Structure 1
């Protein structure tokens, strides 16, 4: 199956009135960005260390509501050298946090014609529930290959054995849900885990690299083929992180290190002009990074039909 073809129109259900997948090619690598839906969250979580008035002004300038708005939630499917690689797995079933508009990954993979049994590898940027939950949906594990390889940083697995939430700023209920989901995931998929320390090549041109910060084992995925390059940044970059890369996101377990890693990555992407995709950037979140004084500017790519 060529993922590049899955962007063609198909019959949609009545509730599917917006695009939910977008295909592109990075050299010889097929890439499909899939929307898992959206997470309605308090706007304070965008920048809990920012002056509330400055944060409110930014939201107003972006034509966003002042109190809460919808965070996009994206996953990526990559096809390289005969391997079909799922990068993150979405939220899965609603973990009693009233997030009914997320958790669409499995349904949307099926709509795109991607058989779960064809997935050879999964790469996890980290083990927050909105990145592993799709693998915990009832019936999913039975449809996956028994020899499925799940690549995740060793530091990430270690962290969730006794996670530290002392630096985060989350709504009530989220820490308990995150702990429970990570523990369940580790128990159910321990035999499939393939851990790495700092960097690992999953397939030709598909390299996962640990950045830390957001979580100790947070990683990004770098794609390179035929002179083209794309980075899936996971939760290292949010919409507000271009103009204010030093603002702390509420889900960051080490906010200062996350900011340092974010700035390093954005500088690198601006210098080499490669494409960026990120979990919580507005779908399909494909674009470039430009330097703007002491900060950065997001330049969305023109959709390629």
Structure 2
């Protein structure tokens, strides 16, 4: 079958993957990929060690494609969008910002979304909500759940411990400011944790940003955690390596190790923003480090 014929039936490369967590329906959606300087993955690692890891993973040493995943949760008559991808306002990143189109491809009308949960306010997590034409399609009573500490941080953000390409902090600051201005009336801030719907719990972890949060799903004994940016692909083999986007690298390391140990102990499934799509995996221990065990695709 030719590529053209395949594309008429469905995507040649799938961009959505369904998971059932008890009675909770979960859809992992790829927002695309975002090129990032490889050194950003491990700012405290020796260059030779990072290069060796990249070689072992068959990844380029200069720039890697960083996956972007968002999640749609359906339960109890609620449709909850967890993060919103990059959006289309960044022409330098043409292969990301696909969330809106892929929601539609999955049969999800943006107007059906009752709640948005944001792990944090970096541009690759909120940009989709700033896309021209989308805001007009969202419900006027949309609830946007965000840690209070996150909203407060972006009033006067501190980048002193980050290691980002020079233009990025200004773009992050501008994007977060625009988001807070546009959605302030719909924000539902929480302090430590908040149950959005039965079995859908947001918990603030801090670390990556002061208000960074994860989403825990639990139903009929099944568990899945959307970890946002608490866990990166390199963090299984090297959980102590720090990411250049972490605003408190030491705390982010503590959060990452604690979360991976918890998931290894409970056996709960893991999804994270920047793990290779569809990202669904389990965590196993391997001495002092961890292994990502990909879930078997269920067709």
Could you state the TM-score of these two structures normalised by the residue count of structure 2?
A: 0.96
Counterpart residue number, 1:156: 150
Q: Decide whether the 8 Å contact of 2:80 with 2:117 is kept in 1.
A: yes
2:3 corresponds in structure 1 to none
Q: Does 1:189 align with 2:183?
A: yes
Q: Secondary structure at the match of 2:103?
A: helix
User: Do the aligned partners of 1:73 and 1:280 also contact (CA within 8 Å) in 2?
Assistant: yes
Structure 1 distance, partners of 2:236, 2:295, is 16
Q: Considering only aligned residues, what root-mean-square deviation do their CA atoms show, in Å?
A: 1.5
Aligned partner of 2:194 in structure 1 is 200
Deviation at 1:17, TM superposition (A): 3.1
**Counterparts of 1:40 and 1:17, CA distance in 2:** 22
**Are positions 1:220 and 2:211 aligned together?**
no
2:262 aligned with 1:268, yes or no?
A: yes
* Residue 41 (structure 2) pairs with residue 46 (structure 1): yes
Gaps of 5+ in 1: 1-10
Once residues 158 and 54 of structure 1 are traced to their aligned partners in structure 2, the CA distance between those partners, rounded to angstroms, is 37
Report the TM-score, using the length of structure 1 for normalisation.
0.95
Q: What SS is found at the alignment partner of 1:25? A: strand
Change (3 A) 1:269 1:184: same
What secondary structure does 1:262 align onto?
Answer: helix
Map of 2:134 onto structure 1: 140
Other-structure match for 1:211: 205
Please list the CA deviations of residues 168-189 of structure 1 after superposition, one character each: whole Å capped at 9, or x if unmatched: 1111211111000000000000
Q: 1:177 to 1:224 in 2, by over 3 A?
A: same
* SS across alignment from 2:285: strand
Structure 1 equivalent of residue 76 of structure 2? 81
Residue 237 of structure 2 aligns to a residue whose secondary structure is coil
The equivalent residue for 1:24 is 19
- Report the secondary structure of 1:242's partner residue: helix
Is contact 1:94-1:100 (8 Å) kept? Answer: no
1:189 is paired with a residue whose SS is helix
Q: Distance between the aligned counterparts of 1:260 and 1:303, measured in 2? A: 31
Offset from partner CA, 1:182-219 (integer Å, 9 cap, x none) = 00000000000000000000000000000000000000
Q: Distance in 1 between matches of 2:212 and 2:94?
A: 26
Aligned: 1:244 with 2:238: yes
Q: Which residue of 2 aligns with 1:118?
A: 112
What does the per-residue CA deviation read over 1:108-158, in whole Å, with 9 as the maximum and x for residues that have no partner? 000100011110000000000000000000011110000000000000000
Seen in structure 2, the aligned counterparts of structure 1 residues 135 and 12 have a Cα distance that, compared at 3 Å, is farther
Distance 1:293 1:181, change over 3 A: same
Partner deviation per Cα, 1:70-113 (whole Å, 9 max, x = no partner): 010000000011100000000002435x1110000000000100
Structure 2, gaps ≥5 residues long: 1-5
Distance 1:291 1:171, change over 3 A: same
- Paired residue secondary structure (1:162): coil
1:260-299 alignment to 2 at 5 Å? 260-299=254-293
- Matched residue SS, 1:182: helix
Deviation at 1:167, TM superposition (A): 0.7
